[in-house]
Amino acid sequence: MPYRIRPATRADAAEILAMIRELAAFEREPDAVVATVADLERDGWGDGTGTGPVFEALMAVDAEETPVGFVLFFHNYSTWRGRPGIYVEDLYVRPQARGEGVGALLLQAVARIAVARRCARIDLWVLDWNPARDFYHRLGFEDLTEWRPYRLETAAIEALAERRAGPAEH
């Protein structure tokens, strides 16, 4: 079946959220999604107050225009290269379209955007148990075992923001 990749629009927000929930269930966190359609609309297409989008998304659709997958990404920056990069937050293909090249088409579209925008790299994270790791390796992604991910979440961000400046912490 032929698939087409197109930019996501505000009208796709509900479908994107549905696929985010499907992805969360696949990643064994079915109750972790708290995002809403309004969140996606605001952050993907702006809120009308001059605040621009903070992410972009592409949709994979079949011949009947039914969404079968999406990729959501945003820019980061490499200070060493002096160039932007792209961080892929989510790549998801619905089960009925897996194994048909849809994921590769979505990442190829992101790669074309990266080339056009002179990006130095494309980054993404993959759970260590996810069988898609082989897929990413086949596309040329490297496993960065020497880099360790760190994260602050909401409560820790707020605590750090309120912390008083003091002696350097070791």
Q: Are 100 and 120 in contact (CB under 8 A)?
A: no
- E-strand ranges in 25-109 read 56-61, 67-78, 83-93
- To the query of whether residue 136 is one of the catalytic residues in this protein, the response is yes
| 3-class SS of residue 59 | strand
Sheet holding 122-124: strands in order across? 4-7, 56-61, 67-78, 83-93, 122-124
Q: Are 3 and 101 in contact (CB under 8 A)?
A: yes
Which residue among the candidates 3, 77, 87, 136 is catalytic per the annotation? 136
Residue bearing tokens 């075992």: 145
Enumerate the active-site residues: 136
